[in-house]
Amino acid sequence: MNKLLLKFILPILLILLNFSYVEAKCKFIMDLGEEYKKSDEKEFGEFPENETGYAEVDIFAPDICSSDNFNDQFIIKHIFLEKKLMAIRFYVDNTIDNSATDSLKLMNYAKRIYGDFDTGSNPQNFNNFIIWERANKYIVYQRALNKDVWEEEIYISNDKYWDQLSRHKSLMEMGEDPDES
């Protein structure tokens, strides 16, 4: 009986334990392409849509990324057109200081969730971007020094939704109504 236990049951248990390990990641309010519903308003507030159909819903990362030790300088912006989620922008607010970017928390999150990348000999000096392509979406991690302030973000969208957002923004900048074109 002991040999049976060691040969069959123990390896099965080890495999099951291995599959039960799930990497914690932020639970965005919905997936790309999904619509903001009345039930979402109960949890995330009233939908702030403007007359052009564009809306943003900002959530502090600690509220939906419980295991990553983010603070309120880490913000997740959900970008909508006609109540449909078009993009997610997970960014660092460095308006006061660069401490959030200096902590490397967003960079380490990107590496852990989307894939490792080379930051050179000193990750603190990484000043570049990385793109991952996944099924029906792309993820861009960007870290850029603008004067003395780090701009750091993870941007998630796809070609279709990015094109729609770009077209909408372009029409708005030209003073045209996006609904009429």
DSSP string over 38-106: HHHHHHH-S----TTSEEEEEEEHHHH-TTTT--TTEEEEEEEETTEEEEEEEEE--SS-SHHHHTTHH
Amino acid symbol at 151: E
Would residue 8 count as lying in a domain?
yes
Would residue 180 count as lying in a domain?
no
Above 90 in pLDDT, residue 15? no
Would residue 161 count as lying in a domain?
yes
Q: Confirm if 122 and 104 have CB atoms less than 8 A apart.
A: no
Would residue 21 count as lying in a domain?
yes
Buried b (16+ CB within 10 A) or exposed e, 12-46: eeeeeeeeeeeeeebebbbebeeebeeebeeebee
Q: When comparing pLDDT for 179 and 103, which is higher?
A: 103
Query: What pTM, to 2 d.p., does this model score?
Result: 0.82
User: What are 139's two structure tokens?
Assistant: 């993820």
Tens digits of per-residue pLDDT, 20-62?
334 468 889 899 999 999 888 888 888 887 888 899 999 999 9
User: Percentage of the chain with pLDDT > 70?
Assistant: 84
Above 90 in pLDDT, residue 89? yes
Would residue 178 count as lying in a domain?
no
Would residue 181 count as lying in a domain?
no
Mean per-residue pLDDT, 76-102: 95
Terminal-residue alpha carbon distance, the chain: 75
**Domain range for 28:** 2-173
Q: When comparing pLDDT for 82 and 14, which is higher?
A: 82
Would residue 108 count as lying in a domain?
yes
Would residue 10 count as lying in a domain?
yes
The number of folded domains in the chain is: 1
